[in-house]
DNA sequence: TTCTTTGTTTAGACATAGTCTAAGCTAGGA
DNA sequence: TCCTAGCTTAGACTATGTCTAAACAAAGAA
């Protein structure tokens, strides 16, 4: 696995200073940031960075297939740079905490042909929900 | 399986005319409506019905556990009255068409204990993505 | 180098989805 | 009947994200 900027460059995609800061902010942490969280953190390094550029850049990285867009809770979308590592997500219904998890089988294999409605099915993602250790007492 | 209004009444939840129209609109079709789509259709039967009541009522039905809220695409949430029938969803990445599917195993069993991060995991839903018959040519 | 072309960034207007508020309404109990 | 608690309403408000038009920047041509 190579870093996100390297992967992005392979698409002949211009790595401007703004795009580099956004990519590095996204990849630097292992949580799943919203666009606003990325804007806030990236602005610490590049204060004049605009909101529109953050949204545009994230959408382009998703379109290039190098970042995953997660819309799991009906609030802000979250962005996941770990597109190369097959994984799913576990979400706390109390506090919203999100963890990566690695399931043991490929869910695509568990969908019978007669349940596919003629679709060409390409991806399957599993969302596990429950309560994190901190939220189990409350 | 009983109808949604019957299930709702069991929670000692007052079935007002507005709530009945919303529940019947939601259950009447087998698609997954957004709140705005329910408002539009319910208003054909009760023109003075307000947007706030539709949103309030849907949120209450979700809180009672009788309706499922689906946030799958980062746009409007969709509401699924088929909470009693265990199923998952297949989405067309071209046109957004959503189909119910029934997988053959329980995904909860796919998640090893050492991947649970101490969570009490209660639910797992699988989202399959691909292209529907109409969108495969384009 | 300078010019031209093309793509990028910006601020702010705009759009959409959903929540909140305050007032009025309704139904059931005293 | 009146009272009270809960329900409904219109519209203001908030949050998230997109669009527009102008300024800016970089690469290639001359
Ligand atoms: Mn992830
Ligand atoms: Mn469904
Ligand atoms: Zn939690
Ligand atoms: Zn389609």
B85-124 pLDDT, tens digit each? 789 999 998 888 899 999 778 888 889 999 999 999 999 9
B55 and B13 both lie in a single domain: yes
Rounded percentage of chain A residues whose pLDDT exceeds 70: 98
B76 and B93 both lie in a single domain: no
Phi-psi group of A6: left, alpha or beta (phi > 0 → left; psi -120 to 50 → alpha; rest → beta)? alpha
Which nucleotide lies at the shortest CA–C1' distance from A54? C9
A111 and A65 both lie in a single domain: no
Residues in chain A: 138
A20-70 pLDDT, tens digit each? 999 999 998 778 999 999 999 999 999 999 999 999 999 999 999 999 999
CA distance to A49, A60, B12, B44, B78, per residue, from B37 (Å): 38, 30, 27, 11, 9
Single residue among A80, A112, A128 that ends a domain in this structure: A80
Domain count, chain A: 2
CA distance to A128, B31, B38, B75, per residue, from B57 (Å): 26, 18, 11, 20
A76 and A111 both lie in a single domain: no
**Chain centroid, CA B89 distance in Å:** 10
Cβ-based contacts of B124 with chain A (< 8 Å):
126-129
Report helix, strand or coil for A126: strand
DSSP string, B73-108: SSSS-EEES-TTS--EEEEETTT--EEEE--SS-GG
**Spans of chain B below 70 pLDDT:** 1-2, 138
B72 and B107 both lie in a single domain: no
CB contact under 8 A, A123 and B128: yes
- Look at residue B31 in the predicted model and tell me its pLDDT: 85
Strand D contacts (CB < 7 A) among B residues 71-100? 74
- Look at residue A138 in the predicted model and tell me its pLDDT: 62
Cα gap B76→B138, rounded to integer Å: 25
- Is A138 at the interface with chain B, CB within 8 A? no
A75 and A7 both lie in a single domain: yes
A54 and A9 both lie in a single domain: yes
List A69's β-bridge partners, or say none: A79
B106 and B53 both lie in a single domain: no
CB contact under 8 A, B122 and A133: no
Ligand closest to A89 (CA) is 1
Domain CATH number, residue B95: 3.30.1490.190
Q: Which domain holds residue B102?
A: 88-137
pTM of the prediction? 0.91
A66-93 pLDDT, tens digit each? 999 999 999 999 999 987 778 999 999 8
- Look at residue A83 in the predicted model and tell me its pLDDT: 78
B9 and B74 both lie in a single domain: yes
Single residue among A80, A99, A117 that ends a domain in this structure: A80
B70 and B106 both lie in a single domain: no
Mind telling me how many Å the CA of A133 is from chain B's nearest CA?
6
**Maximum alpha-carbon separation in chain B:** 54
Q: In the structure encoding, which two tokens stand for residue A103, read together?
A: 């399931």
A31 and A54 both lie in a single domain: yes
Cβ-based contacts of A133 with chain B (< 8 Å):
117-119
- Look at residue B1 in the predicted model and tell me its pLDDT: 45
Shortest CB distance from A130 goes to which of B119, B126, B131? B119
Single residue among A60, A80, A100 that ends a domain in this structure: A80
- Look at residue B86 in the predicted model and tell me its pLDDT: 86
Through-space distance between the first and last CA atoms of chain B, rounded to whole angstroms:
40
A128 and A101 both lie in a single domain: yes
Nucleotides of D under 7 A from a protein CB: 6-11, 15-20, 26
Confidence of residue A19 (pLDDT cuts 50, 70, 90): very high
Domain CATH number, residue A44: 1.10.10.10
- Is B129 at the interface with chain A, CB within 8 A? yes
């Amino acid at each position: 696995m190579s870093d996100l900027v390297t992967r992005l460059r392979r698409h002949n995609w211009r790595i401007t200073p703004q795009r580099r800061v956004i990519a590095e902010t996204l990849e630097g942490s292992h949580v799943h940031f919203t666009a606003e969280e990325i804007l806030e953190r990236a602005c610490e390094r590049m204060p004049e960075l605009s909101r529109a550029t953050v949204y545009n850049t994230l959408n382009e990285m998703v379109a290039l297939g190098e970042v995953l867009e997660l819309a799991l809770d009906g609030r802000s979308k979250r962005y996941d740079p770990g597109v190369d590592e097959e994984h799913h997500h576990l979400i706390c219904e109390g506090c919203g905490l999100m963890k990566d998890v690695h399931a043991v089988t490929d869910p695509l294999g568990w969908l019978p042909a007669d349940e596919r409605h003629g679709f060409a099915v390409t991806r399957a993602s599993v969302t596990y929900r429950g309560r994190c250790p901190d939220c189990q007492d409350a």
